[in-house]
Amino acid sequence: MEDQFIKAAGLIGDATRAAIMWTLLDGRAFTATELSIAVNTSPQNISMHLGKLLEANLLSVEKQGRHKYYRFSSKEVAYVVEAMANLIPKPEISSKKKIENYPPVKYCRTCYDHLAGKIGVALADSLLEQKIIIEKNNTFEISPEGEKWFSDFGVNIGDAKKQKRIFLKPCLDWSERRYHIAGSVGTLLLNKMLEQDWIRRTKDSRAIIITGKGEKEMLKNFKIVV
């Protein structure tokens, strides 16, 4: 068991492979060539490293024509990379939001069903600012005004409250170092936005894209410039 652990650690521990993992952390699938550019090394070298990661089942591939798309093989792998990214000391957060600089939605252990990444964080910020949700010793609560807002927005919180599932909780997004909204409320918001075609899921990625309509609405409702 120990040797397997050491092997896994060694695989991620190499500089080039670590850079690959770092790149893949944004949830998308990358081709070998893309990775070789992102990581700044030769195609042969990338091929060699991808081979090792593949063999160890840390990555999986999907062939499409002459392209091969590489991604994390499981969420467990993403967790490792994520946990590692969390070791990096928090950078100073500038007072003004500069979400423009941020990369696309990043992998998050719960981002399968709620909004993570730059939009997720900006959204949480906005809801907090508008006092729709309130932070109370590390948890989120919905304010009385918030209740109204959600109902206006077409999200039925009542149903969510009845569910066994965690209602509303802050989830730390590694790339933003800020909290975004998880729990059933997070899911409801996400679904509403998909339903309204503000955002769309992409085919082979955990990332989402924002529609033209979404852009306008994000600005209007949350003052978020995408």
Binding site for its own copies (CB under 8 A): 1-2, 4-6, 8-15, 18-19, 21-22, 58, 76-77, 79-80, 82-89, 91, 139, 164, 166
Q: Is residue 41 within the footprint of DNA (CB under 7 A)?
A: yes
Residue 84 C-beta: closest distance to its own copies, Å:
5
- Return the one option of DNA, its own copies, none that residue 50 interacts with (CB less than 5 to 8 A, by type): DNA
**Cβ nearer to its own copies, comparing 83 with 219:** 83
Q: Is residue 139 within the footprint of DNA (CB under 7 A)?
A: no
Residue 203 C-beta: closest distance to its own copies, Å:
27
Alpha-carbon 58 to chain mean position:
19
CA neighbor of 158 nearest in space, from 169, 147, 168, 149: 147
Q: Who contacts 131 (Cβ-Cβ below 8 Å, separation ≥6)? A: 143, 145, 146
As a three-state string, the secondary structure of 85-104 is: HCCCCCCCCCCCCCHHHCCC
- Return the one option of DNA, its own copies, none that residue 4 interacts with (CB less than 5 to 8 A, by type): its own copies
Looking up tokens 């964080």 gives 121
CA distance 219 to 215: 6
Residue 130 C-beta: closest distance to its own copies, Å:
22
CA distance 73 to 79: 11
- Return the one option of its own copies, DNA, none that residue 31 interacts with (CB less than 5 to 8 A, by type): DNA
- Return the one option of DNA, its own copies, none that residue 193 interacts with (CB less than 5 to 8 A, by type): none
Q: Is residue 33 within the footprint of DNA (CB under 7 A)?
A: yes
CA distance 111 to 186: 9
